[in-house]
Amino acid sequence: MEKLPVMSKEEFENRLINGKYVVEFKADWCPDCSFIKPHLPAIEADFPEYQFLQVDREENLDLFRELNVFGIPSFIVYEDGQEVDRLVNKARKAKEEVENFIRNANK
């Protein structure tokens, strides 16, 4: 999973212009982010058609605000630069929940 550097909303949108992406919004201090972290490699392996990216809250607070991401960990699916669906809330997320979200994002 690629961790994105500090970037503006415009840079972020340009990064996602072509392809299918699952973006995880997280923070190192977040216990619920730590809970899902060991499952991320398996989730990524289960969806090879997506490129997985991470955005750190502490490094990209303005981006979080501009994208209305008000809970972590959160996941947003993008296809060719367009947001398809989001799982954005403050709740702990299990592997199955994240996989079901990704699986149903294009339906």
pLDDT at residue 46, rounded to an integer: 96
Active site residues: 30, 33
12-67 confidence digits (pLDDT tens): 999 999 999 999 999 999 999 999 999 999 999 999 999 999 999 999 999 999 99
pLDDT at residue 52, rounded to an integer: 97
CA atoms within 13 A on the CB side of 49: 9
The pair phi, psi for residue 43, each rounded to 5°, is -60, -45
* List of domains in the chain: 2-96 (3.40.30.10)
Q: Could you tell me the pTM of the whole model? A: 0.93
The Cα–Cα gap between 60 and 55 comes to 7
Q: What is the mean pLDDT of residues 73-84?
A: 95
